[in-house]
Amino acid sequence: MKICVFGAGAIGGHVAARLAKGGAEVSVVARGPNLAAIQERGLTVHAPDGTLECRPRASADPAELGPQDAVIVTTKAPSLPSVAASIAPMLGPETPVAFVMNGIPWWYNDGTARDGQPLPALDPGGALRRAIGISRTIGGVVYSACEVTEPGVVEVETSDARVILGEVDGRITPRIQALSAAIAAGGIPSPVVPDIRQAVWQKLLGNLVNGPLCILARSCMQDTLQSPETREAAIRLSEEVVAISRAEGWPIPGDALAARVARSATLRHKPSILQDLEAGRMMEVEAMFQAPLRLAREAGVPVPTLSLMVALATRAAMAAGLYAAPAEAA
């Protein structure tokens, strides 16, 4: 299967190396020093189950890579307009595009009771909808705490990596099964689920708890969650996220929240949004923080702790020049 990973950073590098290990014909869209390193030395991924090395075709220009059997988008959310602007040459008549990212996805309302209400803050100007469209789109949620430690090199910090896939309309299709099999062949599970929005909320639980706290503390999850006060705040945040997921109709389990926080407190990982702040990259404030908060407000779910943490983390992002509220908030 000919698969291109668009955005070969931490997650994209890991996924590309897994696809290569599983025997797929992999290429990557990358740029800057990362592209130069991949072209020169290939990709190296240090994972808990061993080091993966591969030499995918790599280019900054999708036209050089040509039509694909599938594309997996693993950029940060603020880069999605650049994906929309350049992806066309990789799309054959049937090419599906899986968005394997954090946060509320741009297609979240499609096929739900809010069908016909696009989310302009997540897809400015409807560029993704026009360039890719809903019928090609596959939803994705990824678990794999990782970081680009030098161009072309990814460090994977957790051993429970998985890529959950789901069609926007929940069907289990041959195309999604083929993509899942290609990823799983590389040694990480890739379950296909009928309710990908529930998986989105389950993942947001981690992002909305660890993201704002670690941004405010400017430290990794383990250091941030050392004190009883921050662990208590993390549990309150978790309860509020669970409440939003329930109101949204995609309930995530509300038990074992303290155990989940305790596990986060063992990880030296810096949430990717903090990595962005430290590296001066545009931050996924809209998809990860503001969009879920907006849904809470619309549903009338009280989220006092989350509102405060998100307001402070958003301030930090704005002060660093790494987030500006979009003109078109939904």
Ligand X SMILES: CC(C)(CO)C(=O)C(=O)O
Nearest distance from residue 319's CB to ligand NDP, in Å?
21
Residue 150 CA to residue 34 CA, distance in Å, equals 8
Residue 291 CA to residue 329 CA, distance in Å, equals 9
Question: In terms of CB distance, is 4 or 241 closer to ligand X?
Answer: 241
Beta-sheet pairing, 25-29 with 2-6: parallel
- Interface residues with ligand X (CB under 6 A) are 102, 145, 206-207, 210, 269, 271-272
Residue 61 CA to residue 299 CA, distance in Å, equals 42
73-112 footprint of ligand NDP as x/- string (CB under 6 A): -xxxx-x--xx-----------------xx----------
Nearest distance from residue 25's CB to ligand X, in Å?
28
Report angle CA 221, 234, 215 to the nearest 5 degrees: 50
Question: In terms of CB distance, is 27 or 207 closer to ligand X?
Answer: 207
- Which of ligand X, ligand NDP, none binds 210 (CB below 5-8 Å, type-dependent)? ligand X
- Which of ligand NDP, ligand X, none binds 206 (CB below 5-8 Å, type-dependent)? ligand X
Nearest distance from residue 143's CB to ligand X, in Å?
7
Is residue 205 close enough to count as binding ligand NDP by CB under 6 A? Answer: no
Active site residue 76: no
SS3 (DSSP) at 187:
coil
Residue 103 CA to residue 84 CA, distance in Å, equals 18
> Which window, 6-14, 42-50, 173-181, 318-326, contacts ligand NDP (CB under 6 A)?
6-14
Tell me if 45 sits within 8 A of 17, measured CB to CB: yes
Nearest distance from residue 4's CB to ligand NDP, in Å?
11
Beta-sheet pairing, 50-54 with 57-59: unpaired
Q: What is the DSSP string of 131-183?
A: HT-TTTEEEEEEE--EEEEETTEEEE--S--EEEEEETT----HHHHHHHHHH
- Which of ligand NDP, ligand X, none binds 148 (CB below 5-8 Å, type-dependent)? ligand NDP
- Which of ligand X, ligand NDP, none binds 60 (CB below 5-8 Å, type-dependent)? ligand NDP
From the list 2, 21, 76, 203, the catalytic residue is 203
**Which tokens belong to 51?**
């080091």
Is residue 17 close enough to count as binding ligand NDP by CB under 6 A? Answer: no
40-69 footprint of ligand NDP as x/- string (CB under 6 A): --------------------x---------
SS3 (DSSP) at 71:
strand
Nearest distance from residue 181's CB to ligand X, in Å?
24
Count other C-beta atoms under 10 Å from residue 214's C-beta: 26
Is residue 1 close enough to count as binding ligand NDP by CB under 6 A? Answer: no
Nearest C-alpha neighbor of 18 from the set 30, 6, 26: 26
Note the residues at the interface with ligand NDP (CB under 6 A).
7, 9-12, 29-32, 34, 60, 74-77, 79, 82-83, 101-102, 142, 144-146, 148, 272, 284
